[in-house]
């Protein structure tokens, strides 16, 4: 039997990356779509396409400045749609190839988990066997996000669904207000359920 294919999501500062690392320790094969996007931006194909559309200032010195690109691309709906239309198929192809490799591994991983921040917003929940939403108390999220230079309020102004809506749509909801050990125990229980 193939390992379950899981989509992991959650709001800003909820602890998605921490959960992904915990799932890896628990024997899952893991992939972050953010890491895939970073990788793609380092390649010439994507860099050249965004420079051709938005100009050299989005890639000073030949390196894509994601903040500068976001300011340009998200200012206009048509630019955002163009950029997503360019990136998402490339990410999708990378995930498909990664999943094929994960399923071919011996011994098989306990699960194949992809961290996808905009999982529900992109309408991707249908490709997964199950989804996990990581949620946390607003104060906890605010302090985690602030320590990384983000503001949770950005989430409300952006295209991200609220964490409550993500939780409502997810197969499993994990509250990440406690220790990393508690988080790992909850995730382990989910993996057990899925294998059972």
Per-residue pLDDT tens over the stretch 76-91? 889 989 998 999 899 9
Looking at residue 141, its pLDDT comes to 73
Contact 107, 3 (CB under 8 A): no
Distance CA 21, CA 45 (A): 30
pLDDT score of 4: 95
Phi–psi pair at 16, nearest 5 degrees: -60, -45
> What is the predicted pLDDT for the residue at 1?
79
Report the C-alpha gap between 43 and 158 in whole angstroms. Answer: 27
Where do we find the tokens 């602890």?
15
Fold (CATH) for 1-28+111-196: Rossmann fold (3.40.50)
Domain ranges of the chain: 1-28+111-196, 37-108
Q: What's the average pLDDT block by block, 10 residues per block, for the chain (196 residues)?
A: 93 87 97 93 93 94 89 88 91 94 94 92 89 87 65 52 90 92 96 88
Residue 31 gets the label, from left (phi > 0), alpha (psi -120 to 50) or beta, of: beta
User: What is the pLDDT, as a whole number, of residue 155?
Assistant: 44
pLDDT at position 44, please? 92
């Amino acid at each position: 039997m193939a390992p379950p294919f899981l989509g992991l999501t959650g709001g800003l500062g909820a602890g998605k990356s921490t959960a992904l690392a915990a799932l890896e320790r628990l024997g899952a094969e893991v992939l972050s779509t953010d890491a895939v996007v970073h990788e793609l931006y380092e390649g010439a194909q994507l860099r050249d396409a965004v420079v051709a559309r938005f100009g050299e200032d989005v890639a000073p010195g030949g390196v894509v400045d994601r903040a500068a690109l976001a300011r340009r691309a998200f200012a206009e709906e048509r630019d955002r749609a163009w950029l997503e239309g360019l990136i998402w198929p490339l990410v999708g192809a990378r995930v498909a190839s990664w999943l094929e490799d994960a399923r071919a591994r011996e011994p098989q991983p306990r699960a194949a988990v992809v961290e996808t921040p905009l999982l529900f917003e992109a309408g991707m929940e249908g490709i997964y066997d199950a989804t996990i939403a990581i949620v946390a108390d607003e104060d906890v999220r605010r302090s985690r996000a602030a320590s990384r230079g983000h503001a949770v309020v950005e989430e409300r102004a952006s295209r991200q669904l609220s964490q409550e809506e993500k939780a409502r749509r997810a197969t499993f909801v994990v509250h990440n207000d406690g220790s990393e050990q508690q988080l790992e125990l909850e995730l382990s229980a989910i993996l057990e359920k899925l294998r059972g």
